[in-house]
Structure 1
């Protein structure tokens, strides 16, 4: 799978999600920061952690997942589609 960015070597952790899908998370082996995730149900998607971006303007959010888990102070754009949990594909 081609990537949009070079992230170097990573450490990985896999876990079975509530849906039964396998979520693979990539971490920086030096500092432990969560960089991105993959979901076995959605092989064409990579979920990039916004905190790992150097330029936040390169990517724009397209939807909100797990909106029910968000902090009360985290106000996303109300025009974005919002799902309380992971939407069915």
Structure 2
């Protein structure tokens, strides 16, 4: 399975524009949901752990549609992480 991960705003400033990640079909650590992908990313580096921490209140989108952590992942999906946006 291959997933495109995109980062926006302050997340992008720390981690870059994004990355492509992939797993073998039988990989034990292959994430099945957006939330599991976030947890997998958190384990990749100290920067990922800090920026993507559950306490950060980040939003997520899968294939350009806002979603919750339990959104299933499919091969070729694009997942984006970004901070909450406020306006005035």
More helix by share: 2
Query: Do the two structures share a fold, i.e. TM-score over 0.5?
Result: no
**Who wins on radius of gyration, i.e. which is larger?**
1
Which structure exhibits the higher relative contact order, with contacts defined as CA atoms closer than 8 Å and separated by 6 or more residues?
2
What is the TM-score when the length of structure 1 is the normalising length? 0.27
